[in-house]
Structure formats: structure tokens, C-alpha cells
Amino acid sequence: MEYYEDFEKIIEWTKLMNKIKTQILDLASPKNWIEDYPHENGNYVNKCIQCGEFFLGHKRRVICRECQTS
């Protein structure tokens, strides 16, 4: 039984990582803070507290650009 539970956790983790990877690879996403890219701390993967989606930006940002500007 434990093996099955561990396997389900691995599947869920893999799905989450694939979702994050897909969103991150789109560097031109409207959710990303592109003006942060050149800065030392500007390429962190963050999760928006409003929409729950992942975005790239400064490590202290908590809201994606799309939610901030809407």
C-alpha cells in the first residue's frame, strides 16, 4: 500500500513540475516580470498569491504581472 501512495505522490510531483516547466519556458508570458530578468535576483520562479499560477520575477514578488496590472 505504501508503494502505491509513494507512486501517486511522484506522479503528482511530476505533473506539477511539467506545468511549471511549460510556464517558465514561455519567457514572454504576460505573467512574468520581464524587467526583472537582468537583475541578479530577477529570475526566480514564484507562485502568484492571487491566481495561483507560476511566473518569473524578482524573488520577493508575490503577484504576477498580469494580476498586478488588472
**Residue 26 vs residue 61, higher pLDDT:** 61
Per the model's pLDDT, the better-predicted residue between 63 and 13 turns out to be 63
Quick check: is 58 in a domain? yes
Is a pLDDT exceeding 60 seen at residue 1? no
What is the domain count for the chain? 1
DSSP-derived secondary structure for 32-66: S-GGGTTSTT--EEEE-TTT--EEEE-TT--S-HH
d(CA 41, CA 58): 5
pLDDT for position 18: 73
Q: What is the pLDDT of residues 18-58, one digit of tens each?
A: 777 766 667 788 999 989 988 888 888 899 999 999 898 99
- Assess if residue 55 is contained within a domain: yes
Question: Taking 90 as the threshold, does the pLDDT of residue 63 lie above it?
Answer: yes
Q: Is residue 2 part of a domain?
A: no
What residue numbers bound the domain in which 63 lies? 19-69
Nearest in space to 54 (alpha carbons), one of 1, 11, 2, 16? 16
